[in-house]
């Protein structure tokens, strides 16, 4: 017989203002009605925001598990509240963050950092992972401007320019620390198939060489049969992009696309910090597949893709295939249409006679538009 629902938690002030939860037959906690303001936020999160943060496989598990965890762990409650308020802002089109939103983001980050700096308690592992994931989504959504000219890479780089990528790299560490592929995870109990987000946090490493990589990207990145992620900083990105370009850029596939960011090599991130043209172009190509994705990805994808195209358009890059690929991405950024793989496949036969390209970033020939004046 199904297990009867049992009241397991009371959080908040005494009496009728307490937020209460109960456990259903599958072990998920549900929120009981109350007058506590936390109740309204958690219900918005459970019924709306949580369903917009993953894919069909993970979103229901998170919606069922996280609200109960948030009532037990303050760092997760702050992260859930901040993410819900961010979603509110995205739906209304408001640009300026509200005080409550910033407060909860700051509290979530501070409390999470404290937890990660000490020995992790086993019971907290699911909550720590969920907090980290929501802070990552919040960082991707939060861009300081809606003006292209004030957007990276057109603006001068600073520590926060690629903070979202640093957070993505940190997720891999948190995944290992919290052992999210363990059988006793609350998420696995609800959705006992693939551990939530495992593929985007720990994607399979591409095989060496150029088999399966789009020919135009092989040419653009100077790849050959001996190329690997260790000897060519573009190899992993080009390989994963080739796979992703064939995937529909829909909200349901958002975690699939996070493979590119979650599995990015530190050498490639370093090239982005240096505004390396080829690395920027590959990032823009990835962005072009996210124009119609989830609310927390779309603003950055559209704005930074347009900024990258403008930045690269102000350079005269001489490498074979560069301007052709840039043209495809620029067209996508202007029309907000999904990049068509066929356009990239058809590019190679139309390119000029091949020039020798070295295996790595040092051979990129770049002239700024003001050179020679």
**Which of 53-62, 104-113, 122-131 shows the lowest per-residue confidence on average (mean pLDDT)?**
53-62
Please report the pLDDT score of residue 289 as a whole number.
92
Has residue 272 got a pLDDT over 80?
yes
Confidence at 317, pLDDT banded by 50, 70, 90: confident
pTM of the prediction? Answer: 0.81
**Nearest-angstrom CA–CA distance, 72 and 21:** 10
Q: Sketch the domain layout of the chain as residue ranges.
A: 6-168, 203-368
Contact 151, 309 (CB under 8 A): no
DSSP state of 290: -
Has residue 301 got a pLDDT over 60?
yes
The mean predicted confidence, pLDDT, of the chain is 80
* 337 or 46, which is more confident: 46
Contact 36, 12 (CB under 8 A): yes
Q: Give 151-206 pLDDT, tens digit per residue.
A: 999 988 776 778 899 888 888 889 889 988 888 888 876 654 444 455 556 667 88
Has residue 24 got a pLDDT over 80?
no
Percent of the chain with pLDDT over 90: 46
Please report the pLDDT score of residue 336 as a whole number.
84
Specify the DSSP element, H or E, that contains 10: strand 6-12
Contact 101, 67 (CB under 8 A): no
* β-bridge pairing 315-317 and 18-23: unpaired
* 105 or 95, which is more confident: 105
Q: What is the CA radius of gyration of the chain?
A: 22
């Amino acid at each position: 017989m199904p297990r009867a629902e049992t009241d397991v938690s009371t959080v908040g002030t005494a009496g009728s203002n307490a937020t209460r939860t109960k456990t259903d037959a599958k072990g998920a906690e549900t929120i009981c009605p109350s007058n506590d303001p936390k109740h309204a936020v958690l219900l918005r999160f459970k019924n709306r925001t949580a369903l917009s943060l993953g894919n069909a496989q993970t979103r229901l598990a998170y919606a069922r598990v996280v609200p109960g965890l948030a009532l037990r762990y303050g760092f997760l409650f702050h992260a859930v509240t901040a993410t819900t308020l961010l979603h509110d802002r995205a739906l209304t089109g408001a640009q300026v963050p509200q005080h409550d939103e910033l407060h909860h983001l700051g509290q979530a980050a501070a409390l999470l950092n404290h937890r990660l700096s000490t020995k992790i308690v086993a019971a907290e592992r699911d909550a720590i992972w969920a907090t980290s994931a929501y802070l990552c989504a919040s960082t991707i959504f939060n861009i300081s401007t809606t003006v292209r000219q004030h957007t990276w890479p057109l603006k001068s780089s600073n520590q926060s320019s690629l903070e979202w990528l640093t957070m993505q790299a940190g997720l891999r560490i948190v995944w290992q620390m919290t052992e999210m592929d363990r059988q006793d995870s609350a998420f696995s109990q609800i959705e006992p198939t693939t551990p939530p987000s495992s593929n985007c946090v720990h994607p399979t490493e591409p095989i060496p060489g150029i088999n399966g990589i789009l020919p135009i990207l092989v040419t653009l990145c100077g790849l050959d049969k001996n190329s690997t992620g260790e000897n060519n900083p573009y190899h992993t990105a080009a390989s994963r992009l080739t796979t992703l370009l064939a995937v529909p850029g829909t909200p349901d596939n958002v975690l699939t696309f996070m493979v590119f960011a979650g599995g990015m090599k530190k050498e490639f991130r370093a090239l982005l910090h240096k505004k390396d043209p080829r690395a920027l172009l590959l990032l823009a190509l990835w962005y072009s597949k996210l124009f119609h994705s989830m609310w927390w990805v779309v603003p950055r994808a559209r704005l930074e893709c347009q900024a990258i195209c403008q930045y690269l358009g102000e350079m005269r890059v001489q490498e074979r295939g560069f301007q052709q690929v840039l043209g495809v991405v620029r067209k996508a950024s202007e029309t907000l249409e999904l990049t068509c793989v066929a356009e990239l496949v058809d590019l190679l036969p139309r390119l000029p006679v091949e020039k020798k390209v070295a295996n790595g970033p040092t051979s990129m020939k770049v002239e700024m538009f003001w050179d020679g004046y």
